[in-house]
Structure formats: C-alpha cells, structure tokens
Amino acid sequence: MATTYIVSYDLRKSRNYPLMYKALDTLKAAKLLESLWLVTLAPNVGAIRLRDAIMSAARMDGDDGLIVIELKKTSDWATYNAQKTGLAWLRANIP
C-alpha cells in the first residue's frame, strides 16, 4: 500500500525554483499551495529518504528549509484557496 506525504519547502537566499519543481515533478507531486505539495510513494521509502532525495535533486543549501510529513487516509483536512489540481488530488486520495 502506498504512503502519502506532505512536502513543504522554503528556499531562501539562492532560490532555485526550477530544480525544486523538477524534483517534485519527477515524484509526480501535486501542488496544493505555492510551496506545499502532496506525494504518494511506495511504503518502504519513508520520510527521511524522501527528504534526502528532494534535497539532493533540488540542490538545496544550508539556508533552505524542507519538511516531509506522512499523511494518513484518516487525516482530517480543510483548505482555503488551494490549487485546484492539488485539491482534486487531496479529495481523491484523502477523502
């Protein structure tokens, strides 16, 4: 069974957004807010491995921030002005 994660980042001084977007696109992530994405992966990946993969692919440096949180099928959620594609993804995967 797949595992879903919330991924959020904060690129500070050197803001290399194209690399971050490419890293998230490679993972088939769905954009919910400007820097908040949803990713579903195999259950054996884990938050640490996902974090490390994104950090490497996006070439994050020491002043950037990244958080990866597992989202459960039973999680309660609510949004306001979320991206339509991300919201559709959320409705389909976390009903």
Task: Tell me the pLDDT tens digit for each residue of 17-64.
Answer: 999 999 999 999 999 998 999 999 988 899 999 999 999 999 999 999
CB contact set of 65 (below 8 Å; sequence gap of 6+): 9, 10, 12
Residue 20 is predicted with a pLDDT of 94
List the CATH code of the domain at 3-88: 3.30.70.240
The amino acid at residue 37 is: W
Q: Is the pLDDT of residue 94 over 90?
A: no
Could you tell me which of 94, 95, 85 has the C-alpha nearest to residue 28?
85
Q: How confident is the model at residue 6 (pLDDT cuts 50, 70, 90)?
A: very high
- pTM of the full predicted structure? 0.88
Q: List the strands of the sheet with 30-33, edge to edge.
A: 30-33, 36-41, 3-10, 65-71
Separation in Å, CA 11 to CA 4, 8, 67, 73: 23, 10, 12, 29
Residue 13 is predicted with a pLDDT of 85
Residue 95 is predicted with a pLDDT of 76
| DSSP alpha helix (H) spans, 1-95 | 17-26, 47-57, 84-93
